[in-house]
């Protein structure tokens, strides 16, 4: 048994309380490997931002749970070495069973998500409550989810989103005891969040996706005042990165994300945590493809993973400063 405090990690309680008061959101960036972790930590230290390191069950399988835990411990020490002790949480992203959540809690995670959104309402409550009861004994915070996002979450595919029903949130929060709630208001996972047919064109001919359902968010805020809300599927899918990928042998069609202004607006509300994974994947892929095309004889992984890491770091700094507003809040 390793408690997160032994690794120097923080749970999300205080992070969210401060984010709520300050009108910003904590970045939740997914990682599976060394370069992503280096980029996240160095970007968050340089911008003095608290951060949530997210690990999906797929990431655990890919990278090994033991290694990931020790990487998170190393991340705490790395941040100190870089000169700023920022709050760092280690969070299970989209936990789907009690057993997986328990395993993470027992092995150094400071926060877990139990995603019961694909179950019936009552089953979601029962599963979430069970995780909360276990987690809270160890000071670990729990994120629940109500409503279904379109897109792929690990092995679960939802074709259409089902928006969160505001009339359910108060009962769900009370009966489960969760510390934060992920909601569905029009975001979705992956790099193809909308079809072009769902978008309109602005005066410059650029596709503009439908706006997030802010009226649902406001309704939710009224029913659970002061409660931290989480937005998944919040990548913006930067078109310059998509263009670099496609100019260097890639094939990404109709890649459309959530406009940054929409996320900025959300971050000023009860939304205290914003999940971003796909944008990091795009930035890494673009940088690596560019090196491979420009220098086909290169075979030292540091020569392509290094530029990928640099590009990721810039992306995260930009998010913290200009989108989430978490810079200078550590």
35: phi then psi, degrees, rounded to nearest 5:
-65, -40
| Residue 84, both tokens | 């700023």
Q: Quick one: which of 317, 248, 316, 312 has its CA closest to 281?
A: 312
33 binds ligand G3H (CB under 6 A): no
Residues 51-110 that bind ligand G3H (CB under 6 A): 56, 58-59, 93-94
Is the separation of the CB atoms in 146 and 195 below 8 Å?
no
* All residues at 6 or more sequence positions from 80 whose CB lies less than 8 Å from its CB, including other chains: none
Least separation, in Å, of the C-beta of 189 and ligand 13P? 4
Q: Which of 288, 275, 281, 302 is nearest to 249 (CA)?
A: 288
Q: How far is the CB of 296 from ligand 13P (least distance, A)?
A: 30
Binder of residue 142, out of ligand 13P, ligand G3H, Zn ion, none (CB less than 5 to 8 A by kind)? none
**What is the four-CA torsion angle of 246, 61, 113, 129, rounded to 10 degrees?**
150
Residues 209-238 that bind ligand 13P (CB under 6 A): 232-235
110-146 CB burial, b ≥16 within 10 A, e <16: bbbbbbbbeeeeeebbebbbbbbebbeeeebbbbbbb
Nearer to Zn ion, 94 or 289 (CB): 94
Cβ nearer to ligand G3H, comparing 30 with 329: 30
Active site residue 154: no
User: Closest Cα partner for 282 from 323, 315, 325?
Assistant: 315
Query: Rounded to the nearest 5°, which phi and psi values hold at 84?
Result: -145, 120
Kindly write out the interface string for residues 255-294 of this chain, putting x where it contacts ligand 13P by CB under 6 A and - elsewhere.
Answer: --------------------xxxxx---------------
Backbone phi, then psi, for 209, in 5-degree steps? Answer: -70, 165
- Select the binding partner of residue 58 from Zn ion, ligand G3H, ligand 13P, none (C-beta < 5 to 8 A, by kind): ligand G3H
Residue window 173-212: x/- pattern of binding to Zn ion, with contact defined by CB under 5 A:
----------------------------------------
Query: Which of 11, 12, 30, 141 contacts ligand G3H by CB under 6 A?
Result: 30
The residues of the shown chain that bind Zn ion, judged by CB under 5 A, are 232, 275
The residues of the shown chain that bind ligand G3H, judged by CB under 6 A, are 30, 56, 58-59, 93-94, 153-154, 189, 277
The residues of the shown chain that bind ligand 13P, judged by CB under 6 A, are 30, 93-94, 189-190, 232-235, 275-279
């Amino acid at each position: 048994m390793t408690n997160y405090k032994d690794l120097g990690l923080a749970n999300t309680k205080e992070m969210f309380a401060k984010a709520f008061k300050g009108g910003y959101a904590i970045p939740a960036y997914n990682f599976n490997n060394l370069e992503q972790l280096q980029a996240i930590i160095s970007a968050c230290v340089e911008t003095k931002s608290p951060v949530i390191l997210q690990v999906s069950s797929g990431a655990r399988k890919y990278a090994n749970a033991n290694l990931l835990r020790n990487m998170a411990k190393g991340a705490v020490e790395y941040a100190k070495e870089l000169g700023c002790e920022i709050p760092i949480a280690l969070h299970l992203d989209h936990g789907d069973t009690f057993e997986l959540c328990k395993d993470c809690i027992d092995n150094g995670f400071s926060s877990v998500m139990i995603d019961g959104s694909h179950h019936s309402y009552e089953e979601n409550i029962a599963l979430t409550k069970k995780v909360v009861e276990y987690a809270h004994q160890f000071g670990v915070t729990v994120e629940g989810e109500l409503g279904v996002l379109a897109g792929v979450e690990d092995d679960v595919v939802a074709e259409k989103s089902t928006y969160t029903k505001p009339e359910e949130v108060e009962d769900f929060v009370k009966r489960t005891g969760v510390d934060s709630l992920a909601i569905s208001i029009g975001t979705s996972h992956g790099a193809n969040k909308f079809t072009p047919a769902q978008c309109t064109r602005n005066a410059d001919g650029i596709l503009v996706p439908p706006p997030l359902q802010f009226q649902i968010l406001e309704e939710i805020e009224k029913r659970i005042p002061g409660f931290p809300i989480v937005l998944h599927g919040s990548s913006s899918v930067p078109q310059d990165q998509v263009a670099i990928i496609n100019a260097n042998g890639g094939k990404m069609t109709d890649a459309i994300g959530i406009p940054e202004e929409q996320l900025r607006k959300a971050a000023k509300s009860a939304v205290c945590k914003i999940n971003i994974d796909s944008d990091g994947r795009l930035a890494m892929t673009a940088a690596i493809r560019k090196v491979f095309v420009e220098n086909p004889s290169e075979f030292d992984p540091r020569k392509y993973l290094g530029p990928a890491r640099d590009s990721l770091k810039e992306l995260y700094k930009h998010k913290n400063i200009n989108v989430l507003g978490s810079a200078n809040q550590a």
